[in-house]
Each structure stands twice: as C-alpha cells, then as structure tokens.
C-alpha cells in the first residue's frame, strides 16, 4: 500500500493548461480503470473531479480532463482560472474495498 507518486507542485498562468501525473503500479493504477481525482481547497473537504479514469461528475467543468496509460494517470486542466488553485490528489482502487491516494500536488495559478 505505497502512496501513488505525484509532483509536489505545478503552476500555470490564467488561460494556460497544466498536467498532473500520478504513477502507481500494476496492483493499483495499472490494474483497474478506477482512477479518480480530487480537488481540495484549504480547510475544505476534497471534491471529486474525475472518476473511472476520465469521467466527470455532474457540475465539473469540461476544462478538467484525464487519462491513463499503463501505471500512470494524468489530469489536465485547460483554460486555467484563479479558482483552480488548490491541492489535487489522485486515487486508485487497489482491490477489495481498498484505495490508495497520491501524495498530492499543489497547483498555483500565477
């Protein structure tokens, strides 16, 4: 149950695109199409932004997209806006009601 690997920080200017990677193993990211992404603002509970690798819940802007290749998943945020500044966490199912999270990535909108 090792944490998934994410970059500690990324940044971009308003209107630009940024990508956040999430690397796991064949026992989690690579083994299931159950990768999810969460946005967390300071002092708030996380919010689901992507599930099942690339699906968006109702209400999440289509500026948020995601994909997976092998043991690595990626979240892309296009048309960056100030309110996108937050911490982002990937999460993967690892079998038998078990989940594993990434260490988190701080997104700064310059």
Nearer to another protein, 12 or 102 (CB): 102
Nearer to another protein, 3 or 110 (CB): 3
Q: List residues near another protein by CB under 8 A.
A: 1, 3, 32, 34, 36, 38, 40, 45-48, 51-52, 57, 87, 89, 91, 93, 96-104
| Min separation Cβ 15 and another protein, Å | 28
Nearer to another protein, 51 or 72 (CB): 51
Q: Quick one: how far is CA 13 from the chain centroid?
A: 19
| Min separation Cβ 37 and another protein, Å | 10
As a whole number of angstroms, the distance between CA 109 and CA 57 comes to 23
Nearer to another protein, 69 or 97 (CB): 97
As a whole number of angstroms, the distance between CA 109 and CA 11 comes to 6
Cα angle vertex 72, ends 71, 78, to 5°? 160
On whether the CB atoms of residues 18 and 26 are closer than 8 A, the answer is no
């Amino acid at each position: 149950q090792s944490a998934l690997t994410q970059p500690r920080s990324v940044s971009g200017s308003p209107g630009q695109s940024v990508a956040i990677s999430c690397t796991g193993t064949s026992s989690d990211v690579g083994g299931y199409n159950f990768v999810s992404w969460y946005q967390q603002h300071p002092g708030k509970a996380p919010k689901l932004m992507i599930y099942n690798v690339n699906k968006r819940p109702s209400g999440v802007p289509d500026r948020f997209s995601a994909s997976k290749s092998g043991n690595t998943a990626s979240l892309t945020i296009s048309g960056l806006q100030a309110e996108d500044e937050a911490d982002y966490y990937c999460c993967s199912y690892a079998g038998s009601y078990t989940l594993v999270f990434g260490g988190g990535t701080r997104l700064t909108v310059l």
